[in-house]
Amino acid sequence: MERWARFFIDNSKFTVVLSLFVVVFGIGGLLRLNAESFPAVDFAMAQVTTSYDGASPEDVETKITKPLEDEIRSVSGIKDVRSVSQAGLSKILIRADIDNVNVPEVMADLQRAVDRVNDLPPDLRERPTFLEIKSEEFPVVELAIIGSNVNRQRDLVADLLKEDLEDVKTILSVRQDGYKKRQFNVILDPARMRALHIGVDEVLGKLQARNINVPGGSLKKGETQDLLRIEGRIRDREELANVLIRSNFSGQQIFLKDVATVEDGEEDARILTRYNGREATLLTVLKKGGADTIAMVKLIDEKVGDFREKYGDQFEFTIFNNESQRVKNRLEVLTSNAVSGLVLVIVFLMIFLPGKIGFVASLSLPIAVMASLGFMPIFDMNLNAVTILAQVIALGMLVDNSVVISENFTRLRRSEGLDAKEAALKSIRQLALPISATVFTTIAAFLPMLVTTGIMGQFIKYIPIVVSVALIVSLGESFFLLPMRLVSSSSERDKFKEESKDWFETKAVKPFKKIVRWTVQHRYIALGIFTVGLVGSIVLMTVFNKMVLFPADQTEIYIARIEAPKGTQLEITDKVLAEVSVKSKEAIGEHMLHAVARTGTVQVGPSDPKGKSGNTVGFITMYVDEYAKNNIKHTEMLAKLRALKFDSRADVTFEAMVNGPPVGEPINGTFRSNNAESLNQVVTKVIEEMSKIEGVRDMRADDVIGDDEVYVEIDYPKADRLGLEVKMIGDTVRAAVQGKAVSNVNLNNKKVDLRVQFRPEFRRDLEDLEKLKVMDRQGNLIPLGSIATFRKQTGSPQIKRFDYKRSKTVTGDIDDAVITAIEANKKMEEIFAGLRNQHKDVSLVFGGEAENTRESMDSLWNALGLSLIGIFALLVFLFNSYLRPGVIMTTIPLGLVGFSIAFALHGRPISFLAMIGMIGLGGIIVNSGIVLITFIDELRQDKSLSLEDVLVEASGLRLRAVVVSSLTTISGLLPTAYGIGGSDAILIPMTLAMAWGLTSGTILTLIWVPAAYAIIEDIGRLGGRLIGRKDSVEEQGGDRVRSHSPVVTETIKEVSP
């Protein structure tokens, strides 16, 4: 190191150019970084969706879901499988075991498994669709087009805007909600059909036979040929209305228009959408992986602006849920807090380091930051919440090495009168190994985070990478670029005299030495005090701090889930949502920006455990402004919303969306059994008992109370005598009541269905159903009531399954201040244990926040263990000893004191990111102990000094360097921890944990290490006397200490005073 340092000192102009190159390299890297909210996370999830128009939930389960599940079951590497079978639709959600398998291979196997299923119903119009769910393909912005939809005018504009947006290369797709597809509706008139003796089956058959194109081969003439094509496809409403249904030899003809009204209309609504109470079509824009969110949303805004100019007199265009704004805010917070941290670092350096030395040392910070930014694109990173957090963590540490070298440089010039160049080179000789050790112990603390499993592991994996790169860069800068600046900024007039003193020595060092001397003299009392402090910290954490994976701080989004009574029509449920939206607006007041209502579904994310669909359900997503986000607690906002009273009998619940990756509901348990009665009894009892527990609320199951179902029971012998088959009867009933899509046409590159259905007044009740005519093979019209009876019973609009058995998922919310997710789920497990003897065929599987917390904490404990082992191994290498590393390792728990006090005083729960900060803190705290032990070993070469004097003097000598390096690290974290330059809930817990932990750890380390060193010596002397020897501890144990002083070049033997 010294040779390289000399090279850069002797070639100062080259060093300046190299420094400028590093800055330019960083600027170039920064310009290449894309901005996004969170890093891409592989959820290892896939969804299989199958439409089976007109089928009941039971039919969908039996004919679609089960055959697919049977084939999916053959794929290895699957963690769990959830499915929902509802009227006309099957959805299967598959999760791969992300930590133990190759996810792309599993996804490919799943795709092949779905393709292999060949026993699906023959009347299935389309094969199941397989979709892999990826985080980088999640929404980045949503749009609302507000206005009248007469003649589908609003939806037509939505189509045009969708096509325009999908031309943007970084946009993956645009999803439409509240959008009704164009459809040719054939509204049959049963009275006219009876009069003309026309059956439903006859109409269906004629339409299917007419609307078809048939290839006719090719006509060859000479050297050319023409393709022959029989055109039968219907092109417009008029052509459809004139389809011939029947004709005879007498010339009588019956056209479709004679028995039906033909409309160029739209499909029936399945989902109704509103924006701030007004009907709207919603567009959700999904970006491609790696695309820059800010740049993409800027393009979207420009395109929406063009549509405002063109259609602004008819429709309103509103952008909401703008992810780019969140990214911008986060970048502004980073920039502002980084500048604040930089100013604080420079101020502290100028205060504690004399003359120009402080300013010279502070230049290491921007150079190291630029270099680390330059490397980020090389590691395929983007600017997001996690990489920004990593940069904030590294910010204060990047100047630590320069502080230690600069302080030693100053001391050598003062105490030994060395010239600038020799002082710089001697500082490198003395400190190269201990400084390298401090860097690598810090890296050793962060790197094990890479073993964290699951979604959380992917979420944080860039923290250790960014921190490690930044620290290695800062190490190189302090060894190669800093010495030149120290020498160039010094002159002979700057030479310090040995007797010169500054304020720090008189005001800080002398009082501190007295404290250290007392602790060394009363080291066992000090041991007791430190032990009590650590135990008290653990008790404080246990009593005052709850474990919450991702607290709902700075909540921007609130969700209202609504479930109306069974039998409620979609339009009536929509009115309920409108009422909830209006009253929620009154409760939140001017702070509500957007209220987006979706009726017909409740699905907040693809893996929402409370997801439901049907005419009786809906949800409202409410967005609040920055003031409410930063100044009104989510508990206060939820209390206002939950106090609302509504006119309808609908069940309404409110919840807050948390910041961070999806972790599931606080209370989440799935009960499995093929015994429906036993399953219902267990779920009902669990919900009843859980609702009695303080701090638990909104307990519910994920089933939907179904509408009454009418079963048509056919008299098969009678139907057979009349030549009627079940399929003929079923097609007629489906077409008459629900409607049947018999064919489709391609108009303007869009598929338009042809749907046949009875007029509404002929499909209202059982009496209409009994009068329905079914045509037999001889052309006779047979009343349905003459060949069938009707039975009514309560049905289920959804059948849910988990891991190939029917299931019900019980979810609930908690008050974090009263009970944690882990405690609540433990209570549910205890309740179920009491029911297990009576219901042995029911099993319970946990998920949601509790399960994620358990998995994450297991991973964190593994990371902590690896971190401690890694740090200890590096210290053993550095000191060639077991005991000195042992002394240094005892400083790690000292950070718990500040950590526990900080989170108790601030009333914060201990979150996942706070624990990550605590793990990383261990590698930083030991740095002070490394430097201190190194100087103790050097001073022990002076045999005239007693051990007590050595410990006191070494602590005094290193006080300035340790204090300044710790202050710079803390000052880099504090602006973010307290939101001085802007607050961000994602960044606060980790920076707060590290800032306070480092504060207590640094102060206590300087006091504790000398006392611990003396205690170890006592133990060594006692052991020596017991075995008749007087050697020091290290000699007795065969341990030796590497010398880092140029004076002591050989391995030394320690001798007790």
Residue 349 has a pLDDT of 75
Q: What topology is assigned to 44-133 in CATH?
A: Alpha-Beta Plaits (3.30.70)
For residues 869-884, one letter each, b for 16 or more C-beta atoms within 10 angstroms of the residue's C-beta and e for the rest, the string is ebbbebbeebbebebb
Lowest-confidence segment of 352-361, 476-485, 505-514, 775-784 by average pLDDT: 352-361
pLDDT of residue 738: 81
338 SS3 class? helix
Please give the Cα distance from 1043 to 560 (Å, whole number): 66
Q: Which candidate, 786, 839, 426, places its Cα nearest to that of 671?
A: 839
Residue 748 pLDDT greater than 90, yes or no: no
Rounded Cα distance, 234 and 752, in Å = 11
**291-302: per-residue pLDDT in tens?**
888 889 999 999
Query: What torsion do the CA atoms of 636, 637, 642, 645 make, to the nearest 10 degrees?
Result: 120
Amino acid at 918: M
Evaluate whether 409 touches 485 at the Cβ level (below 8 Å). no
* Residue 499's pLDDT band (cuts 50, 70, 90): very low
The CB density around residue 104, as the number of other CB atoms within 10 Å, is: 12
pLDDT band at 705 (very low <50, low <70, confident <90, very high): low
Contact 365, 1005 (CB under 8 A): no
Output the pLDDT for position 492: 56
464 has a pLDDT exceeding 80: yes
Query: What average pLDDT score do residues 24-39 get?
Result: 88
pLDDT class for 664, splitting at 50, 70, 90?
Answer: low
* pLDDT exceeds 50 at position 921: yes
pLDDT at position 987 over 90: no
Range among 60-74, 192-206, 257-271, 714-728 with highest mean pLDDT value: 60-74
What is the token pair recorded at 9?
A: 């000192």
Residue 748, C-beta contacts closer than 8 angstroms, at least 6 positions apart: none
Bridging pattern class, strands 78-86 and 89-96? antiparallel
Domain 182-266+708-794 and domain 557-702+820-832+841-853, same fold? Reply is: no
**What distance in Å separates the CA atoms of residue 330 and residue 934, rounded to the nearest whole number?**
41
Element (DSSP H or E) covering residue 38: none
The separation between CA 926 and the C-alpha centre of its own chain, rounded to angstroms, equals 32
Q: Give the list of residues 6+ apart from residue 981 with CB closer than 8 angstroms, or none.
A: 333, 335, 336, 337, 338, 339, 340, 975
pLDDT on residue 849: 54
Q: What is the pLDDT of residue 385?
A: 79
Q: Which CATH class is domain 557-702+820-832+841-853?
A: alpha beta
pLDDT at position 652 is 92
User: Which residue would you say has higher pLDDT here, 458 or 254?
Assistant: 254
Average pLDDT, the chain: 84
Between 711 and 807, where is the model more confident? 807
CA-to-CA distance for 716 and 725, rounded, in angstroms? 9
C-beta of residue 241 within 8 angstroms of C-beta of residue 262: yes
- Amino acid making up residue 653: T
Highest mean pLDDT among 108-112, 330-334, 714-718, 776-780: 108-112
CB atoms within 10 A of CB 906: 14
Q: What is the pLDDT of residue 355?
A: 64
Query: Between the CA of residue 889 and those of 137, 978, 1041, what are the distances in Å?
Result: 44, 29, 16
pLDDT > 60? residue 1033: no
- Asked if residue 645 has pLDDT above 70, the reply is yes
Largest CA distance in the chain: 133
Of 1009, 1007, 1000, nearest to 889 (Cα)?
1009
Q: What digits encode the pLDDT tens for the residues 152-172?
A: 899 999 999 999 999 988 898
Hey, which of 87-101, 209-223, 654-668 has the most confident mean pLDDT? 87-101
Per-residue pLDDT band for 607 (boundaries 50, 70, 90) equals low
pLDDT band for 317, please (50, 70, 90 cuts).
Answer: very high
Task: Quote the pLDDT of residue 112.
Answer: 94
Using pLDDT thresholds of 50, 70 and 90, give the confidence band for residue 935.
confident
Rounded Cα distance between 185 and 261, Å, is 8
For position 393, what pLDDT does the model report? 81
The pLDDT tens digits for 839-870 are 989 998 887 555 666 676 777 788 888 888 98
Both tokens of 300, joined, read 């979207």
Domain 182-266+708-794 listed as CATH 3.30.2090.10: yes
Mind spelling out the 3-state secondary structure of 193-262? HHHHCCCHHHHHHHHHHHCCCEEEEEEEECCEEEEEEECCCCCCHHHHHCCEEEECCCCCEEEHHHHEEE
Segment 961-987 shows an average pLDDT of 79
Strands 182-188 and 750-758: parallel
- Interval 325-354 mean pLDDT: 77
pLDDT at position 777 is 76
Q: Is 567 helix (H, G, I), strand (E, B) or coil?
A: coil
Q: What is the mean pLDDT of residues 169-196?
A: 90
Instruction: Band the pLDDT of 796: cuts 50, 70, 90.
Output: low
Q: How far apart are CA 204 and CA 181, in angstroms?
A: 21
pLDDT for 1041: 35
* Amino acid (1-letter code) at residue 540: L
Identify the pLDDT of residue 491: 66
Model confidence band, residue 260 (pLDDT cutoffs 50, 70, 90): very high
User: What ranges do the domains of the chain cover?
Assistant: 2-32+327-546+869-1036, 44-133, 182-266+708-794, 557-702+820-832+841-853
Residue with structure tokens 């006219």? 192
Alpha-helical segments (H) within 522-658: 523-544, 570-588, 626-631, 634-642
Of the listed ranges 367-376, 491-500, 953-962, the least confidently predicted one is 491-500
Report how far residue 128's alpha carbon sits from residue 151's, in angstroms, rounded to the nearest whole number.
32
| CATH assignment of 2-32+327-546+869-1036, among 1.20.120.50, 3.90.650.10, 1.10.8.60, 1.20.1640.10 | 1.20.1640.10
Long-range contacts of 355-361 (CB under 8 A, 24+ apart): 355/494, 356/489, 356/490, 356/494, 357/406, 357/409, 357/410, 357/486, 357/489, 358/406, 359/489, 360/406, 360/482, 360/485, 360/486, 360/489, 361/399, 361/402, 361/403, 361/405, 361/406, 361/482
Inter-residue contact 961 to 331 (CB < 8 Å): no
Contact indicator for 955, 516 with CB cutoff of 8 Å: yes
Signed CA dihedral, 633, 637, 640, 641: sign only:
negative
Q: What is the pLDDT of residues 408-453, one digit of tens each?
A: 888 888 877 888 899 899 989 888 888 898 899 889 888 888 887 7
Q: Give me the pLDDT at residue 1047, please.
A: 32
Distance between CA atoms of residues 546 and 816, nearest Å: 7
Residue with token string 């007791």 = 528
Supply the pLDDT for residue 1048. 32
Give the whole-angstrom CA distance, residue 392 versus residue 378: 20
pLDDT given for residue 1053 in this prediction:
34
Instruction: Quote the pLDDT of residue 648.
Output: 79
Q: Percent of the chain beyond pLDDT 70?
A: 92
The predicted pLDDT at position 780 comes to 82
Rounded to an integer, the average pLDDT of 728-732 is 83
DSSP state of 87: T
State what percent of residues in the chain have pLDDT above 90: 29
More confidently predicted of 94 and 1019: 94
Q: How far apart, in Å, are the Cα atoms of 333 and each of 330, 338, 339, 344, 394?
A: 5, 8, 10, 16, 16
Residue 626 neighbours by CB under 8 Å, 6+ apart:
none
pLDDT digits over 878-908, tens only? Answer: 888 888 898 899 998 898 888 988 888 888 8
Pairing of strands 253-255, 244-247: antiparallel
Tokens of 729: 């009867």
